[in-house]
Amino acid sequence: MKHRRSIWILLALLLFLGAGWLMTSEFASLSPRRRPPKFPSYMRQDEVVRMVNRKHALMLKAWDSATKAQRENIENQRFDPLLVALSAVRTPRTLLIFEIAALEKLPAVQSLLNCMPKKVKDRALKFKDKTGIDPFTSIERAAVAGDMLLLSGDFSGANWGETFSGFQSEPYGKDGMFYSHSGPNDAGPRGSSFLVWKDEMIVSTDDPEMARRVVDLLEGREGFEKEGFPELDTYGQIYGEISVKDAMEALSDSKDDLAKRFGEAISSVKIHVDASEDVVMTAEMSGEDPDRVNDVAKSMGAALSLLRVKARSDEDRNFTELLDYARIHPEGGSFILDLALPLDFIQRSLSNCRTE
Amino acid sequence: MKPLLSVWIDLLKEASERRWILAIAAGITLILLTMACALQLDVVDGALAATRFFGKPIRTDIGAVDQTLRPLFEAVSDLLYYGSLTIGIFVSADFGPSLLEPGRIEQLLALPLRRWELLAGTFLGVLTLVLVGNLYASLGVTAILGVKTGYWTVKPVASALMATVAFISLYGVILATSLFVRSASISGTAGFLLFIAGIVASFEKEVAGLFKPGIGRVFFEIICVPLPKIGSLGVFSQDLGYVSLPDWLQVSRLLLGHVLFGGACLMIGLFHFERKDF
Amino acid sequence: MRYNHHYEDTQMNAIEVQGLRKTYANLFGRKRIRALDGVDIEVPIGIAFGLIGLNGAGKTTFIKTLLDIVQPEAGEIRVFGAHPESPETRRRIGYLPERLHMPPVWTARSFLKSIARLKCIHGPDDAIEMHLDQVGLTTAAHQRIGTFSKGMMRRLGLAVALLGSPDLLVLDEPTDGIDPLGQRDVRRLLEAERNRGATIFINSHLLTETEHFCDRVGILHHGRLIRQGTVSELCKGSNRWLVRFTPHADTEMFTKHGFIKANGANEWWFESSNLESLNRAIDRARASGALLDGLRPDFKELEEILAETVEKNP
């Protein structure tokens, strides 16, 4: 009896050993679970610090006529020059701001840069040698608003003579210098006039009037009611507003007249792109009529779903993966579209590219 | 083997007569009915457009049903997995002590069956009870969500089955404990402690990092080796459908490990039971 | 007049126990209680054996060793020639424990069916109904056990023991909690079982019951079997006979014939180791005109025997 009973103990020991071996962490650990992408919805701490550090004390118009109390108020106000400059754009158009300095360090962009043809890299190097402007380090931000391009950064090392060799130059305002082929007052082909302000901003536009307005705003000769883009919305590495017209063009292939309904219901499209890990984009769309907005939201959701079903049936894994994280979040009178490109997807897609 | 089957069947019959087990079954049914009646899911062209609970809209994303419902299915998997383990501990803690009740155990041991058959039959009976409960809940959820969304998936059922396998390790400890100490509360507590320990052991690396390097950490790592990785199975039950083949092999190891652990505890209980006087 | 039961000689005993020892110790082995201290018993097949003793004598422990419920530390046990550890041996035993606990949610009938399954009895329905009738539970067969009284539980326990017509019935306090008429029914039932050929082993505090029913009795005290034998062997006080005559004027005559006055009216003791001398004395008294009114051997009550035994073995 004792002999038989000891079999149970022996079996128990063997089973414990077996269980331990099977469940030791090196064998039992699962592949790291892919974390769902984090979509930008508010400023991170570092972005708040970035926003604050960019503000300068700019002089507003009507300093002379202001009372003492008003001047104190004015003196305490600080503004981001780029956002002030963007208020020069009066008509609704697509406005996008790129945080170049931040983007350059990100893994997704690094993958893209690794794919850049050698020729392009060589040209950038030559440009830097000639002009003193390193496209990858001197430029902090780039803003595109319609036909206007704004670059802000540190251009103190720039050789403007070499950069704009062949251009006519003329000072404008207190710290501005106008470069053009034909002259400061004449409109020319796109990109034909540049305005450099204080070694920290370059404005490129084919409308010299707009360029002058930028300097006037920055130097207080022209007032502004609000900045060209709300400072609290400056989160992500790319952000801005897409004009409804441009958005409708993007949806123009929609079969069920989605573009038309979109144009009727939506009045504002704000986007934010964050490429810190995965590349994620949120687009907040809002309108006056909540019911119409909701209707568009449902239609877009259905369209995304159908696209995904089609991608799956076509066995288009890449597109399916892109749409895996596509979501529409209704928010009362607006909705948010989320799209994500997982980092490993980008790296896989770009892994086979080799520059020559 | 026939006596073992008889003990197995008798336990199920007895359980079906116990009022509190019937109450639990009624509770699960009530939850399922509430979910069926109160949850409204508007699906348009395969996309989840709106969710309402008791008529009140719930903020949910609009997107492909299987993706948009993913958080819901993950939550359901977690609920089924951890919920069934917790309820299973409470439900099962009493069967061992009840078997050993003075007057009953003598009567049973006088019958022409071996002690290991009595124990094994009890173990299998309780396991079957837990499995039936898990399947009932999971099939109910699957049916409700499938009918409402048109999206049919076996993920909830798979979660329930994994929970049943994980329960083998817990009940091995519960039954073995009751053989040493005839107390439903103590054996239930032992099962619950193993449940917690199993979750902690699943995240051994992360938890070990909180220890200063030294004897304490080494001791902790050694202790974690044989413990059932309850948390790891729970994570996997959430991810069903999104994992690769190598992960399935890992999970098979985990499942088998739980079975062996439960069996080992049962062997220890049996060693004691065979030499115990009543 | 008591009836001396003669039992048949058998080649195999139902129960054979030699040198049985059992000591209970607590977890740390400090407090040790010797429950059985070298018990030897042989119970032939087909008889009723009663085990009596004080509380804590070791009776229940002994019974449990017969069923492998308690495992002795020393000694040999054989039931029908085999160790009770074997399920085949236990299949031939019907057991009624001292304490009964049956699942309260089951009905009596369903519980018996469950036991029948565990005993691997095929087609048990008729047997179940018969045993329910035997123990007087037919009308309560559909009731939940949880609603039963103590006596009803005992009856059901007896039905469980009888299921399968076992060759050996081991009954621990079989009539405990049963009403007097029920006790009578139980006695008749057990007699029928004995007549069927079953061996019956009883542990009972009801000594009258044991005295009347059992063929052999053993007295267990402090874990040792102090005395055992047939009832008549145990209860026989001496070679004396108590004789009662009708009232007679010449009391001297009785003394002359060897009778000694007893305490009771018209009662006389006669010491004789054989029946012939007793009969001759009675014939002489009758020849002298006395009329015989009653005759019995000098038997003590089992209770008295137990008390004497305990006193002599402190």
Evaluate the CA torsion angle C230, C235, C241, C242 in order and state its sign: negative
Are the C-beta atoms of residues A23 and B257 closer than 8 Å to each other?
A: yes
Overall average pLDDT of the A68-81 stretch? 67
Query: What percent of chain A has pLDDT above 90?
Result: 3
Least confident of B172-176, C38-42, C181-185: C181-185
pLDDT digits 0-9 by tens, C273-296: 788 999 999 999 898 888 898 898
DSSP string, chain B: -HHHHHHHHHHHHHHHH-HHHHHHHHHHHHHHHHHHHHEEEEEETTEEEEEEETTEEE---BEEHHHHTHHHHHHHHHHHHHHHHHHHHHHHTTHHHHHT-TTHHHHHHTSSS-HHHHHHHHHHHHHHHHHHHHHHHHHHHHHHHHHHHS---SHHHHHHHHHHHHHHHHHHHHHHHHHHS--HHHHHHHHHHHHHHHHHHHTHHHHHTTSPTTHHHHHHHHHHTTS--HHHHHHHHHHTTS--HHHHHHHHHHHHHHHHHHHHHHHHHHHHHHH---
Least confident of A172-186, B116-130, C77-91, C183-197: A172-186
Nearest CB to C106 within list B3, B17, B114: B17
Burial pattern C10-48, b for ≥16 Cβ within 10 A else e, equals eeebbbbbeebbbeeeeeeeeeeeebbbebebebbbbbb
Residue among C287, C296, C203, C217 nearest C250 (CA): C287
Q: Which two tokens stand for residue A72?
A: 């104190």
pLDDT at A235 > cutoff 60? yes
Q: Which two tokens stand for residue C85?
A: 């550890």
- Separation CA C175–CA C170 (nearest Å): 13
For helices B115-149 and B155-180, the axis angle rounded to 10 degrees is 150
Query: What percent of chain B has pLDDT above 70?
Result: 87
Are the C-beta atoms of residues B141 and B131 closer than 8 Å to each other?
A: no
Residue C9: φ, ψ to 5°: -75, 140
Give the amino acid at C305.
I
Residue C33: φ, ψ to 5°: -120, 120
What's the gap in Å between the CA of B70 and the closest CA on chain A? 11
More confident residue, A325 or A176: A176
What's the gap in Å between the CA of B4 and the closest CA on chain C? 9
Phi-psi region of C270 (alpha: psi -120 to 50; beta: other; left: phi over 0): beta
Distance of CA A66 to the CA centre of its chain: 38
pLDDT band for C262, please (50, 70, 90 cuts).
confident
Residue B39: φ, ψ to 5°: -90, 120
Which residues are within 8 A (CB) of B128 and not within 5 positions of it... i.e. 6 or more apart? B8, B12
Least confident of A263-272, B180-189, C112-121, C227-236: C227-236
- Separation CA A44–CA A272 (nearest Å): 13
pLDDT at C28 > cutoff 90? no
Q: Measure Cα distances from C135 to A274, C111, C161, C199 in Å.
A: 84, 15, 11, 19
Nearest CB to B113 within list C97, C103, C118: C118
What's the gap in Å between the CA of B18 and the closest CA on chain A? 32
Using the Cβ of B109 and the Cβ atoms of chain C, whether some distance falls under 8 Å is answered with yes
More confident residue, A307 or A236: A236
Using the Cβ of B206 and the Cβ atoms of chain A, whether some distance falls under 8 Å is answered with no
Per DSSP, C144 falls in state B
Residue B76: φ, ψ to 5°: -65, -40
| Residue ranges in A32-174 assigned as alpha helix (H) | 45-53, 68-76, 81-86, 100-104, 107-114, 118-131, 160-163
Residues of B in contact with C67 (CB under 8 A): 106, 109-110
CB A298 to CB B62 under 8 A?
yes
Residue among A329, A227, A307, A275 nearest A107 (CA): A275
Stated pTM of the model: 0.72
pLDDT recorded at residue A29: 55
Residues of C in contact with B3 (CB under 8 A): 87, 118, 120
Contact pairs from chain A to chain B, CB under 8 Å = 149
ipTM over 0.90: no
- Could you identify the residue written with the tokens 């402007």? A133
CB A300 to CB B62 under 8 A?
yes
pLDDT at B112 > cutoff 80? yes
- Separation CA C141–CA A261 (nearest Å): 77
How much is the mean pLDDT over chain C?
Answer: 86
Give the SS3 label for residue C219.
Answer: strand
Q: For strands C199-203 and C168-172, give the pairing.
A: parallel
CB-neighbour burial class of residue A223 (10 A; exposed 0-12, middle 13-18, buried 19+)? exposed
Are the C-beta atoms of residues A108 and A281 closer than 8 Å to each other?
A: no
pLDDT band for B174, please (50, 70, 90 cuts).
very high
Least confident of A269-278, B234-243, C225-234, C258-267: B234-243
CB B257 to CB A30 under 8 A?
no
pLDDT at C7 > cutoff 50? no
What's the gap in Å between the CA of B219 and the closest CA on chain C? 29
How much is the mean pLDDT over chain A?
Answer: 77
Distance of CA A100 to the CA centre of its chain: 9
Which of A107-111, B58-62, C114-118: highest mean pLDDT?
C114-118
For residue B66, give its domain range: 2-275
pLDDT digits 0-9 by tens, C132-184: 999 989 999 999 999 999 889 999 999 999 999 999 999 998 888 888 888 88
Evaluate the CA torsion angle A251, A255, A260, A262 in order and state its sign: negative
Could you tell me which residues of chain C have a Cβ less than 8 Å from any Cβ in chain B? 24, 64, 67-71, 87-88, 90-91, 93, 95, 97, 99-103, 105-106, 110, 114-115, 117-120, 157, 160, 170
Domain count, chain B: 1
Q: Measure Cα distances from A61 to A6, A226, B130 in Å.
A: 97, 13, 78
Overall average pLDDT of the B123-130 stretch? 94
Residues of B in contact with A331 (CB under 8 A): 59
Using the Cβ of B10 and the Cβ atoms of chain C, whether some distance falls under 8 Å is answered with yes
- Separation CA A271–CA A241 (nearest Å): 6
- Separation CA C10–CA C67 (nearest Å): 22
Q: Which two tokens stand for residue B185?
A: 């509360």
Cα distance between the two ends of chain A: 81
pLDDT at C38 > cutoff 70? yes
Chains in contact with A, where contact requires at least 3 CB pairs less than 8 Å apart: B
Nearest CB to B18 within list C69, C105, C120: C105
